[in-house]
């Protein structure tokens, strides 16, 4: 399957649970509801994906500081959270979700 046209974003859970937030229009994303999203292990973020043009909700969520930002080093695959970009391709998502924030790491 080609992921060339797909984009992923990570949304802060507080954005969808905050009564003053505008919420997410799930009609614009591949997920159908909050319950069908992948969530970080600590429950503070969830992931959405869309194909093609950016849904208007992405700009609204970003304006409300509802998007989580990550920096993925293309050479090393190292992931840093808290700064960087907020839209990701497939290889970035694989690197981000492989971190201990998203995946239980066995010792």
Q: What is the pLDDT of residues 27-43, one digit of tens each?
A: 889 998 888 899 999 99
pLDDT band at 85 (very low <50, low <70, confident <90, very high): confident
* Bridging pattern class, strands 6-12 and 45-51: antiparallel
* Bridging pattern class, strands 45-51 and 38-39: antiparallel
Residue 77 has pLDDT above 70, yes or no: no
- The answer as to whether 102 is a domain residue is no
In contact, 86 and 15? CB cutoff 8 Å:
no
d(CA 85, CA 9): 9
Q: Mean pLDDT, to the nearest integer, of 68-88?
A: 77
- The answer as to whether 13 is a domain residue is yes
- Give the range of the structural domain holding residue 60, as residue numbers without chain letter: 6-97
Q: State how many domains the chain has.
A: 1
What mean pLDDT value characterizes the chain?
Answer: 83
**pTM recorded for the entire structure:** 0.82
Task: HSE, CB side, 13 Å, CA atoms: give it for residue 28.
Answer: 15
């Amino acid at each position: 399957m080609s992921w060339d046209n797909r984009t992923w974003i990570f949304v802060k859970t507080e954005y969808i649970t905050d009564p003053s937030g505008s919420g997410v229009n799930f009609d614009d994303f591949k997920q159908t509801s909050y319950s069908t999203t992948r969530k970080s292990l600590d429950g503070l973020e969830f992931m959405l994906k869309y194909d093609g043009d950016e849904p208007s909700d992405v700009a609204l969520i970003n304006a409300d500081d509802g998007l989580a930002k990550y920096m993925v080093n293309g050479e090393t695959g190292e992931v840093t959270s808290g700064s960087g970009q907020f839209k990701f391709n497939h290889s970035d998502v694989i690197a981000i979700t492989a971190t201990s924030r998203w995946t239980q790491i066995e010792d």
